[in-house]
A and B are shown apart, each in its own frame.
Chain A
Amino acid sequence: MVELKNITKIYNPKKANEFTALKDVSLTVNDGEMIAIIGKSGAGKSTLLHILACIDNYQDGEYRIDDTLVKKLSEKELSHIRSEKIGMVMQDFALVEDFTALENVMLPLDFAQKKKPNRRELALKALGSVGLEELARKPVNKLSGGQKQRVAIARAIVNEPSLILADEPTGALDTKTSAEIMEVFKKLNDDKKTVVIVTHDPNVAKQCGRIVEISDGEII
Chain B
Amino acid sequence: MTLFKTAMKNYRKDPVMNIIGFVQLVAVFLVTTVMVSTISIRYRTYDALEDILSSKGFYVRFGEFDGAKMPESGLYENVFYSVDKLNAYFNADPLVAVQGAWVANYLEKPDAKTSSAPLILFYDDELIERCKPVLKSGRWLSKNADKLEIVVSENDILDWKIGETYSLELFHISTYRVIEAEIVGIVENSADIFGYNRFESRGISGDTFRFLYDTHNSHNEGHLDRPTIISSSEALGRLFPEVEAHITSAFFIYDDDTPDEFIKEKAMLAGQFNGQIVDNLDDLNENSKIYLRGELLTMMPVIVILLSLLIISAISVSAIAARRRLKDYAKYYVLGLQWKQCAAVSLFQALTTAAAALLVSAAALFVIGFTPLSDVITVIVDMRLISALLGILLLYLVFSMIMPLMMLKSATPKQLLTTE
Interface residues of A (CB under 8 A from B): 46-47, 50, 53, 55-57, 75-76, 78-80, 82-84, 88, 90, 92, 94-99, 103, 107-108, 110-113, 155
Contact = CB atoms under 8 A, between A and B. Distances in A.
A96 B328 contact: yes
A108 B332 CA distance: 8
Contact of A110 (B5, B412, B414): B5
B338 A79 contact: yes
Contacts of B331: 94-96, 107
Contacts of B333: 55, 79, 82
A82 B339 contact: no
A110 B338 contact: no
A83 to B, nearest CB: 3
Contact of B9 (A50, A57, A88, A99): A99
A111 B1 CA distance: 10
A46 B332 contact: no
A139 B57 CA distance: 75
B339 A111 contact: no
A83 B338 CA distance: 10
Contact of B335 (A98, A113, A155): A155
B73 interface: no
B12 A111 contact: no
A91 B400 CA distance: 31
B98 to A, nearest CB: 66
Contacts of B301: none
Query: Nearest 5 A-B pairs (CB), nearest first?
Result: A83-B336, A111-B336, A98-B12, A55-B413, A98-B13
Interface in B319-347: 328, 331-341
Contact of B336 (A47, A57, A80, A97): A80
A90 B5 CA distance: 25
Given A55-B413, A96-B328, A111-B2, A82 B9 contact: no
A92 B418 CA distance: 9
Contacts of A84: 336
Contact of A82 (B12, B328, B336, B340): B336
17 contacts: A46-B414, A50-B413, A55-B334, A55-B412, A55-B413, A56-B413, A75-B339, A82-B333, A82-B335, A82-B336, A94-B334, A98-B9, A98-B13, A99-B12, A110-B5, A110-B6, A111-B332
A108 B5 CA distance: 14
Interface in B293-340: 328, 331-340
B310 to A, nearest CB: 29
Contacts of A79: 333, 336-338, 341
B351 interface: no
A143 to B, nearest CB: 16
Interface of B: 2, 5-6, 9, 12-13, 328, 331-341, 412-414, 417
A88 B412 contact: no
Given A98-B12, A98-B13, A103-B9, A111 B337 contact: yes
Contacts of B2: 110-111
Given A46-B414, A75-B339, A90-B417, A53 B6 contact: no
A35 B37 CA distance: 69
Contact of A108 (B328, B335, B414): B335
B335 A56 contact: no
B7 to A, nearest CB: 12
Nearest to B336: A83
Contacts of A155: 335
B169 to A, nearest CB: 76
Given A110-B6, A111-B337, A50 B414 contact: yes
Given A56-B414, A98-B13, 13 more contacts: A50-B412, A50-B413, A56-B413, A78-B338, A79-B336, A82-B334, A82-B336, A90-B417, A92-B417, A95-B331, A96-B331, A110-B5, A113-B336
Nearest to A158: B335
A116 to B, nearest CB: 12
A53 B13 contact: no
B371 to A, nearest CB: 38
**Most interface-central of B5, B12, B334 (chain A CB within 10 A):** B334
A26 to B, nearest CB: 22
Nearest to A96: B328
Contacts of B337: 79, 111
Contacts of A92: 417
Contacts of A111: 2, 332, 335-337, 341
A12 B333 CA distance: 22
A56 B412 contact: yes
B40 to A, nearest CB: 43
A100 to B, nearest CB: 10
A111 B337 CA distance: 6
B327 to A, nearest CB: 8
Contacts of B336: 79-80, 82-84, 108, 111-113
Contacts of B13: 96-98
Contacts of B412: 50, 55-57
A95 B231 CA distance: 71
